[in-house]
Amino acid sequence: MTEGFDPWDEIAIIGIGLQGASIAINARERGLAKRVVVGDISKTNRERALELGLCDYATADLADAVKNADCIFISVPLGAMASVGQEIGAALKSGSIVTDTGSTKQSVIKDLGSYIPSDVHFVPAHPIAGTEYSGPDAGFLTLFQDRWLIITPPPGTDNNALNRVRNFWEACGSMIEIMEPAHHDQVLAVTSHLPHLIAFAIVGTASDLEDHLMQEVVKFSASGFRDFTRIAASDPVMWRDVFLNNKDALLECSARLSEDLARLSRAIRWGEGEQIESLILRAREIRQALIEAKQV
Ligand code: NAP
């Protein structure tokens, strides 16, 4: 048992993919919950979760999954948050806590929050920790270790519930930041959503090349392209939902990027070496700042 965390008698994890499975492994290996129940629409993933020992019980009936849980972790794609809320709302135990791992926070508060009864605490959260893999086999113990976990409490959030969620994530090795939901969505648009959008676009551009060029791209991919393909291998459903649920902040970022790209292209066209060099220098400084903040 992790010292300092009073374990929950029962937790429910709705969606046993990369995030849900990593939560289950942490809960079990660190003794943060006495019993783990899984609710998931996928029969294959439920069966695999039981095989891997991630939970004591798994069901497709989400109301059944949450009915005795002290804390419920919702880790389904953003587009499924509202339907999950609708299925579990009436079954939630009075005094229990609902939290989530969704990558955008305003949309989750709108889609899920409206189904949470007033005697249940809602503490929206987002682990800034992921990989390009999905499903229960993708989960691992150290996913959240030394990673940020952002909590975006709506006004009036119960302090004890917020602290329980904070302490759970601290026990998983996370560092905690509290943020306004809108601010979270703006920050993540820059740090996560825009880089994914760029990676999907670049890999798409390459795949439209004529056959003989494409073969060379694969052969010589180590010169930069390869790093983009790792990000571009991410789950299509998850990223479709992230883009659609953070539309305003993402479109603002991509408009700025288009301007910056046009400025850089112009500098290349007109041979403005100094301008090109100063832009690359600024980018290097940002990389250095990440290294100093131990985020690399
Ligand atoms: P994942 O590996 O694809 O797992 C999601 C699980 O939820 C799958 O088992 C899926 O079944 C199931 N599911 C889908 N719709 C459902 C529904 N209506 N009811 C019950 N179960 C349902 O996803 P993930 O990567 O763990 O992501 C989960 C959440 O965390 C998302 O909101 C995502 O934005 C967020 N997040 C992801 C990352 C990352 O890097 N992956 C990082 C931070 C936050 P099927 O496979 O049959 O669809």
Q: Are residues 201 and 100 in the same domain?
A: no
Q: Which of 13, 16, 19 for mutating ligand 1's site (highest number of atoms within 8 Å of CB)?
A: 19
Q: Between residues 156 and 296, which one has the greater pLDDT? A: 156
Spatial contact of 22 and 143, defined as CB atoms under 8 Å apart = yes
Q: Are residues 213 and 266 in the same domain?
A: yes
Domain holding 215, by residue range, is 183-292
pLDDT of residue 66: 98
pLDDT above 70 as % of the chain: 99
pLDDT of residue 294: 79
Q: Whose CA is nearest to atom 14 of ligand 1?
A: 76
Residues with CB under 6 A from ligand 1: 14-20, 40-42, 45, 75-78, 80, 83-84, 101-103, 126-127, 130-131, 134-135, 235, 238, 242
What is the CATH number for 252?
1.10.3660.10
pLDDT at 107 over 60: yes
* Total tally of structural domains belonging to the chain: 2
Q: Does the residue 4 lie in any domain?
A: no
Atom of ligand 1 nearest to the CA of 237: 3
Confidence bin at 241 (pLDDT 50/70/90): very high
pLDDT of residue 33: 98
Q: Are residues 66 and 172 in the same domain?
A: yes
Q: Does the residue 6 lie in any domain?
A: no
Confidence bin at 206 (pLDDT 50/70/90): confident
Q: Which of 75, 108, 192 for mutating ligand 1's site (highest number of atoms within 8 Å of CB)?
A: 75
pLDDT of residue 148: 96
pLDDT of residue 2: 63
Q: Whose CA is nearest to atom 31 of ligand 1?
A: 77
Q: Are residues 193 and 92 in the same domain?
A: no
3-state helix, strand, coil in the chain (%, to 5): 55, 15, 30
Q: Whose CA is nearest to atom 46 of ligand 1?
A: 42
Spatial contact of 204 and 178, defined as CB atoms under 8 Å apart = no
Q: Are residues 16 and 160 in the same domain?
A: yes
Spatial contact of 211 and 236, defined as CB atoms under 8 Å apart = no
Range scoring the smallest mean pLDDT among 49-53, 69-73, 188-192, 288-292: 288-292
Q: Are residues 172 and 39 in the same domain?
A: yes
pLDDT digits (tens, 9 = 90+) for 33-50: 999 999 999 999 999 999
Mean pLDDT of the region 148-156: 96
pLDDT at 223 over 80: no
C-alpha 141: how far from chain center = 16
Cα separation, 226 vs 55, in Å, equals 36
What is the CATH number for 69?
3.40.50.720
Among 137, 158, 179, the domain boundary falls at 179
pLDDT at 295 over 80: no
Q: Are residues 151 and 188 in the same domain?
A: no
Measure CA of the first residue to CA of the last residue in the chain; give whole Å.
Answer: 30
pTM of the model: 0.94
Read off φ and ψ for residue 182, nearest 5 degrees. -65, -40
Q: Which of 238, 240, 243, 245 for mutating ligand 1's site (highest number of atoms within 8 Å of CB)?
A: 238
Confidence bin at 1 (pLDDT 50/70/90): low
pLDDT of residue 79: 97
Q: Are residues 55 and 136 in the same domain?
A: yes
pLDDT at 3 over 80: no
